[in-house]
Structures are given as C-alpha cells and as structure tokens.
Amino acid sequence: MNGQSRKDIVPGIKVQIVQKQDQRSGKLTAGVVKDILTNSPSHPHGIKVRLTDGTVGRVKQIVTD
C-alpha cells in the first residue's frame, strides 16, 4: 500500500517514510507512526507523519508483516 490516503494511516502502524532532506536520493526510513501531520484526506507525495522517534517525513509505503 502506498501512503497517499490519510484513511489508511493510523498511529501505531509500521511505515517507510522519506524525509525532506532525502527526497532527492529517495532514501527510506522505517518507523512507527506517532502523529499524522497532513490534514487533507490525500496527498500526491504521501501523507506527512511524525514517527515515535520524532522523525518527520512523507509515507511512501505501509509495512505489512
């Protein structure tokens, strides 16, 4: 699942995000969602979230085990 729809993202799920400084390289950072920062129902570049470690970025992938 991609991270473009806000309804698919809830606090506590594992995701892969791209941080602002990593947008050019596309480097992904794994973590667990703490807060959802995007207010709109969807975003073409991914929903912006804050992870439990404080990292902020846009969701590129929702990790399913």
The CATH number of the domain holding residue 21 is: 2.30.30
The predicted pLDDT at position 15 comes to 98
Residue 35, classified by CB atoms within 10 Å of its CB into exposed (0-12), middle (13-18) or buried (19+), is exposed
The residue ranking higher by pLDDT, 19 or 65, is: 19
Q: Given pLDDT bands bounded at 50, 70 and 90, which one contains residue 11? A: very high
What domain count does the chain have? 1
State residue 1's pLDDT score.
75
Question: 65: pLDDT confidence band, cut at 50, 70 and 90?
Answer: confident
- Structural domain includes residue 16: yes
What does the pLDDT look like over 18-54, one tens digit per residue? 999 999 999 999 999 999 999 999 999 999 999 999 9
| Containing structural domain, residue 15 | 6-62
Within a domain: 1: no
